[in-house]
Structure 1
Amino acid sequence: MKTAKEFDEAFDNGEDISEFVDWSASRRPNLEQKRVNLDLPIWMIERLDYEAKRLGVARQAIMKMFLAQHLEKAS
């Protein structure tokens, strides 16, 4: 068993720490997902699809990116 300091040092050094982690109990604070439904006009969907294709990402990714950028500016 490693101490917290040894664990942190191993992680910082890029060592494999997977044997010390219970992945079944892990979670990502503030990054949990929740599904929402959003109705948009067709012109918005077409513009989103255009931008997504231009950037080489999925529509959902471009929507998340736009929302995150807007929310960051609003903070």
Structure 2
Amino acid sequence: MITTKEFDQMFDNKEDISKYIDYNSPLTKEDLIKMLEKRKNEQLTIEITKELKDKLEEKAKKLGLKIQDVAKVLLAKELGLI
């Protein structure tokens, strides 16, 4: 067993992490959304370009999600929260 920090370091160093991944029970998009919804929410209003909004809407439609959920998951992923 390794710590999350050790796992992250291995991932960042492009080392083989496959033996630490449980392929039998992967996270689903619903799991990710539930994880984000359990956290205390605060409101953020931002202005984005039409191009960015169109891309978010396209991805949301493809995944069957709301645009807000896609934005939350992408931001959380980019910031290392998931």
Aligned length: 44
Map residues 52-63 of structure 1 onto 2, 5 A cutoff. 52-63=60-71
RMSD: 1.7
Q: Which has the higher contact order (CA 8 A, sep 6+)?
A: 2
From the CA coordinates, give the structure whose radius of gyration is larger.
1
Among residues 42, 51, 59, which one is paired with 1:43 in the alignment?
Answer: 51
Equivalent runs, 1:28-39 vs 2, <5 Å: 31-39=39-47
The answer for unaligned runs of 5 or more in structure 1 is 1-29
**CA-to-partner distance for each residue in 1:21-60, whole Å, 9 max, x for gaps?**
xxxxxxxxx8111111010000000000000000000000
The two structures have a TM-score, normalised by structure 1, of 0.55
Q: Could you tell me which runs of 5 or more consecutive residues in structure 2 were left unpaired when the two chains were aligned.
A: 1-37
Identity of aligned residues (%): 23
After the TM superposition, which segments of 4 or more aligned residues of structure 1 sit over 4 Å from their partners? none
